[in-house]
Amino acid sequence: MFKNSKNSGRNTSMRFMTIGFVLITVSACTSMGIQPWERDLLAKDSMQLIPDYLDNFMDEHIYFSKEASSGGQGVGGGGCGCN
């Protein structure tokens, strides 16, 4: 029937700490993003995952042709056709 004042204070402080943590976590993501003047740097070919698609295609084709007996680029089975 009687509330324990010690537990009540602990619950209140935990509630404030949780609310504070959530607010800090949510507000930390507001400054993320790319500014308009930074987009030109990220649009350069050197910043792309695969800068030259045709060159990469030919390199993978040669690698796959040489490594056909071992399966190449993570392809299951070998070059013998026994998948």
pLDDT of residue 51: 76
| Structure confidence by residue, pLDDT tens digits, 31-41 | 667 788 888 88
Residues of the chain with pLDDT under 70: 1-8, 29-32, 67-83
pLDDT of residue 78: 54
Check if the beta carbon of residue 20 is closer than 8 Å to that of residue 28: no
If you write DSSP's letter for every residue of the chain in order, what string do you get? Answer: -PPPHHHHHHHHHHHHHHHHHHHHHHHHTTT-S--GGGHHHHTSGGGSSSS-HHHHHHHHHHHHHHTGGGTTTT-SS-TTS--
